Amino acid sequence: MNNIRIFLSLVLTILVIVWSSVQVSSQNIKPTSEVVLTSEVEWSPLNPARGDASPKAGALWGDRTGSGASGFLVKFEKGFSSPPHIHNITYRGVVISGLIHNDDPNAEDMWMPVSSFWTQPAGEAHITAAEGKANVAYIEIEEGPYLVLPTEEAFDNGERPINLDASNVIWLDASNITWIDLPRMPTSDDEPKIAFLWGKPQDGELNGTLLKLPAGFTGKIRSYGSIFRAVVIQGQPQYQILGETEIKTLEPGSYFSSKRESVHQVSSQAREESIIYVRTDGKFDIIPAQPKK
């Protein structure tokens, strides 16, 4: 009898220890989601060597002055035009507001509007100019630091630049993409759409896409990758972190992200669609909320 009591006492003690450990662990778990509003971005000269003549840059993720990947906003004054220069690394850009030109120093102006996409290969001489009243672009690099160098140091790394005007972006809906989770229905402007920019999401590679949410959309984005980064390009979608009550309005240039498989609750305003740039290393589903009966 005593042996049974001792055994039960040991079992009870073990259960208490395990439960206490679970409680402590759950208290230490932090949300994997991060949100950076445009109003929270801190600005500094993109090229400190040019002082006040330099465009302003604001970090969203990573550190462009360090050795890793990073993503940041760049703000140009109306009429800005850089001298011919090169970069030590390749970068990608998406226009958030205004009109941006990025090309060979002798090329004719090609003003790219909101949601246009371009790439600038490392080592290639080019200029960047802006013509809108308020000009902002999202820039990302795969390795740093981000440096501005004279054209005397130009080199050919084998890449070629891309300038994709917003009018040439090809939007696909669920009928074109098997891994978008949407009810099957006739194609219309009232459903989410995707535009592939780079990488192969179907193979689980790092990739970049544009996501268009129609006006009045309410639902979730379920990410299956190890990292999910999103930058609002157009519109003012509302965002709610799972488990929290606060709803944040994301103006263009705002950013949200998560690690590991995750779910993001988003919605578009009733009269305005939203365009979001997504960078991830896996697939993601767009899941509309079920309509109320």
The full DSSP string for 79-93 is T-BPPSBEESS-EEE
User: pLDDT tens-digit profile of 22-50?
Assistant: 333 333 434 468 999 999 999 999 998 88
Distance CA 80, CA 53 (A): 9
Instruction: Report residues of the chain scoring pLDDT below 70.
Output: 1-32, 174-189, 291-293
The ranges of the chain annotated as CATH 2.60.120.10 are 39-167, 170-288
Q: What homologous superfamily does CATH list for 39-167?
A: Jelly Rolls (2.60.120.10)
Write the pLDDT tens digit of every residue in 200-236: 877 778 999 999 999 999 999 999 999 999 999 999 9
Please state the length of the chain: 293
Checking 203-208 for CB contacts under 8 A at 24+ apart, the result is 204/281, 204/282, 204/283, 205/281, 206/279, 206/280, 206/281, 207/279, 207/280, 207/281, 208/92, 208/277, 208/278, 208/279
Residue 266's DSSP bridge partners are: 219, 239
Asked whether 281 and 204 are in contact (CB, 8 A), the reply is: yes
- Are 245 and 275 a contacting pair, CB within 8 Å? no
Mean pLDDT score of the chain: 86
- Tell me which of 3.30.2400.10, 3.30.750.24, 3.40.50.150, 2.60.120.10 is the CATH number of domain 170-288: 2.60.120.10
Q: If you compute the radius of gyration of the chain from its CA atoms, what whole number of angstroms results?
A: 23
